[in-house]
Amino acid sequence: MLSEVLTHLAPEPGKIYCDLTFGDGGYTKAILDSCDCKVVAVDQDPTAYEKALQLAATPDYKGRLFPLLSKFGQIDSAVKKNFDWSFPCFDGMVMDIGVSSGQIETASRGFSYKLDGPLDMRMSRLMRKSISAYELVNFYSREQIADIIYKYGGDRLSRKIAAAIVDARQKAPIETTGELAAIVQKTCPQPRWQRGDDDMLRNSAARTFQALRIYINDELAELESALRSSEYLLRPQGRLVVVSFHSLEDRIAKNFLYHCAGKRSTQEAETNHVVPSFELKSKSVVQASKEETAVNSRSRSAKLRVGQRTMAEPLSPFGPLDL
Ligand SMILES: C[S@@+](CC[C@H](N)C(=O)[O-])C[C@H]1O[C@@H](n2cnc3c(N)ncnc32)[C@H](O)[C@@H]1O
């Protein structure tokens, strides 16, 4: 979705952008290469942050790239702590939710059901609760595990999978991603002709791993919090571009933008005649091109939404936003 992101973010020289999910740096580099602008690059993963620091020291990006090790749900306090800037300070913000290629391809991080590694899945240890996949799989109750797989993975066989996990751990702790994947795949075998297909609609192991990851990293609450902060951090005309891969994430981004654009009839909007804080820029959701989906199957589920900040006051007070 890189070219779509650039089109909708529309970077301009002299402006400051925030990449809330630096990852492997693809979006940040593309923004910085597109014109003489600056980027604050956020990631909660120390490995991604290290990469960003190295990139920031290279001649092309020196003085233009500012890495921040933070959860994006705390972007406002991270900016306050690290820069002497008053709000609003960004001319555009982008989020590419989920797991990076670097994370998924490193077996020792425990994100992949295809690579054998320890059951971890933590993007960072910045969280207080910070439990690992090992703790979740071996110590949560069968009901808790089933609820997580159903809620975040949408798997109708969640109860069966949870029962198989509990059965297996009674014999010996489940230590690795390979062991967990084998349990799920044995419980919900894919037909031979679908094997090797990563598609979430078809692959139970992919869905179970995704569900555990979303829960462990508290991804939905983080997203809500970052969206809310964008109202305070974006200058008028600044764009918010959100790329997501999961229907729950897309729903949160959509509801937020529709709410702020006054497209949702809420009691508050009706009684206080609120002025929209965002204008919707893409009529509906933007999806990856046929060319991209042909070479990158994961992009099939990508959805991009974009809003442009207006001059109006933020609609959401600091505190949880009821979406
Ligand atoms: C899909 S990747 C981004 C890939 C990036 N756009 C690129 O071009 O390489 C998502 C990144 O967001 C980070 N991330 C996920 N949740 C986060 C959060 N709550 N706070 C900060 N970073 C987060 C992950 O650690 C990961 O590196």
pLDDT the model gives residue 194: 58
Is any atom of ligand 1 closer than 6 Å to the C-beta of 100?
A: yes
- Cis omega (within 30 of 0) for bond into 173: no
Q: Tens digits of per-residue pLDDT, 207-255?
A: 999 999 999 999 999 999 999 999 999 999 999 999 999 999 999 999 9
pLDDT the model gives residue 315: 82
**Tokens coding 304:** 């991009």
- Using left for φ > 0, alpha for ψ between -120 and 50, and beta otherwise, residue 59 falls in alpha
Q: What does the domain layout of the chain look like in residue ranges?
A: 2-101+219-309, 128-216
Is the pLDDT confidence value at 188 over 90?
no
Look at 126 and 20; give whichever has higher pLDDT.
20
Looking at ligand 1, which atom is closest to the CA of residue 26? 8
Q: Could you tell me where the DSSP H helices lie in the chain? A: 2-9, 26-34, 46-56, 75-82, 101-104, 133-139, 142-153, 158-171, 177-187, 204-216, 219-233, 247-260, 267-272, 290-295
Is the pLDDT confidence value at 193 over 80?
no
| Partners of residue 307 on adjacent β-strands | 240, 280
Q: Which residue's CA is the nearest one to ligand 1's atom 27?
A: 23
Determine the topology of domain 128-216 in CATH. Answer: DNA polymerase; domain 1 (1.10.150)
Look at 274 and 246; give whichever has higher pLDDT.
246
CB 178 within 8 A of CB 111: no
Query: By mean pLDDT, which of 29-33, 100-104, 124-128 is the weakest?
Result: 124-128
Please give the model's pTM, rounded to 2 decimal places.
Answer: 0.92
Buried b (16+ CB within 10 A) or exposed e, 306-319: bbbbbebebbbeee
Q: Tens digits of per-residue pLDDT, 13-60?
A: 999 999 999 999 999 999 999 999 999 999 999 999 999 999 999 999
Is any atom of ligand 1 closer than 6 Å to the C-beta of 48?
A: yes
Instruction: Find the 203 Cα to ligand 1 centroid distance in Å.
Output: 23
Is any atom of ligand 1 closer than 6 Å to the C-beta of 231?
A: no
Instruction: Find the 123 Cα to ligand 1 centroid distance in Å.
Output: 9
pLDDT the model gives residue 26: 97
Determine the topology of domain 2-101+219-309 in CATH. Answer: Rossmann fold (3.40.50)
- Residues 291-313: what's their mean pLDDT? 87
Looking at ligand 1, which atom is closest to the CA of residue 123? 25
From 22, 29, 65, 70, the mutation candidate for ligand 1 (largest count of ligand atoms within 8 A of CB) is: 22
From 19, 123, 126, 292, the mutation candidate for ligand 1 (largest count of ligand atoms within 8 A of CB) is: 123
